[in-house]
Amino acid sequence: MRKFFLGVLLIIFLFVLAKVISDTFFIKMEHIEIPLPALPPVFDGLRILQLSDLHGRRLPGDGKLAQEIKAANPDLIVLTGDYVKRKAEEIDNYYSLLEAMAAIAPVYAVSGNHDYRAGWELVAGKLQKAGITVLDNRHVKIQKEGQELILAGVSDPHTGHDHLPSALPPVIDAPVILLAHAPTWFVRRQENDSLTVLRAEDALWENMALILTGHTHGGQIKLPFVGPVTTASGRLFPRDYIEGLSREGNIWLYISRGIGQSGIIPLRFLSPAEMTLITLRTTAPK
């Protein structure tokens, strides 16, 4: 009987070890389609590739990830913050990948909380040198055949550097896709019992169609039957706004699990690293 239990424990240990290795070191490509009724028909099928929370991970510009990005054939690539853990120089671990992405499609980036700790100006400078457009409370207009989308980016909301009015144009006459590092910003709008400043900005949300974020790592380490113990935001045993696609009113929110790790245990379990290929549609997929 003792050998039986030892055998069971060994099997469980090997499974956990294999899952940790898989979830931490292998990056899963997620594919989702999001219907945006206000999307101009010329943008139906627009492909946006999102990467988040690289945290200085070593990724070569000629490796498997770069090949998968090229094969995905994105129209836009967006990066939603936390490029490093502690030092701006950590971005050099995958600088050639940034250059490779910029050669594939236009790349847009926003800041994360770790980037401010490391020195956001230094991190942003490296991104720009690689050919990436930094949307630091700014926006760009994506144009095609006389139609427009607004791609806006707010600085890290988790550390209070975001300012939505600065990120949006004075007149909003097209659907808005917003890049923000943390869903904290989105959550606090939904729980805005004391956030009068966000009530005052409600008019700015009328044309908001989609928000792309990261920060949570999907919990990074989840317990079977329990879920994540915490997220990067510090919430204990969270039950919502952890990962994936959700909808609040007319606004879609996607939370990426990200690519890298951080914290005391820089490993993943039941929360695999991801990059996400998002296809925009004018109607819901059948």
Structure tokens at 91: 């971005």
**Adjacent-strand bridge partners of 223:** 227
pLDDT confidence band for 201 (50 / 70 / 90): low
Q: Could you tell me if residue 286 is inside a domain? A: no
Tell me, what CATH number does 23's domain have? 3.60.21
Q: Could you tell me if residue 149 is inside a domain? A: yes
Strand blocks (E) in 19-173: 28-35, 47-51, 76-80, 107-110, 133-134, 138-144, 147-153
Q: Could you tell me if residue 60 is inside a domain? A: yes
State pLDDT tens for residues 91-147. 999 999 999 999 999 999 999 999 999 999 999 999 999 999 999 999 999 999 999
Q: Which residues of 190-199 are buried (b: 16+ CB within 10 A; e: fewer)?
A: eeeeeeeebe
Q: Could you tell me if residue 175 is inside a domain? A: yes
State pLDDT tens for residues 33-75. 999 989 999 999 999 999 999 999 999 888 899 999 999 999 9
Q: Could you tell me if residue 16 is inside a domain? A: yes
Full-model pTM: 0.92
Domain encompassing residue 20: 2-281
Q: What distance in Å separates the CA atoms of residue 165 and residue 112, rounded to the nearest whole number?
A: 19
Are the CB atoms for 141 and 150 separated by under 8 Å?
A: yes
Q: Could you tell me if residue 130 is inside a domain? A: yes
**Which residues lie closer than 8 Å to 190 by C-beta, 6 or more apart?**
248
Write the burial class of residue 17 (CB in 10 Å: 0-12 exposed, 13-18 middle, 19+ buried). exposed
∠ CA 230-272-151, rounded to 5°: 85
Are the CB atoms for 27 and 63 separated by under 8 Å?
A: no
Q: Could you tell me if residue 45 is inside a domain? A: yes
Q: Could you tell me if residue 72 is inside a domain? A: yes
**Which of 140, 147, 214, 202 is CA-nearest to residue 177?**
140
State pLDDT tens for residues 211-265. 999 999 999 998 888 888 877 766 777 778 889 999 877 889 999 999 999 888 8
The helix (run of H) or strand (run of E) holding residue 186 is helix 184-190
Q: How many domains does the chain have?
A: 1
3 state SS for 232-273: CCCCECCCCCCCEEEEECCEEEEECCCCCCCCCCCCCECCCC
Are the CB atoms for 163 and 137 separated by under 8 Å?
A: yes
Are the CB atoms for 207 and 176 separated by under 8 Å?
A: yes
Once rounded to an integer, what is the mean pLDDT over residues 177-187? Answer: 81
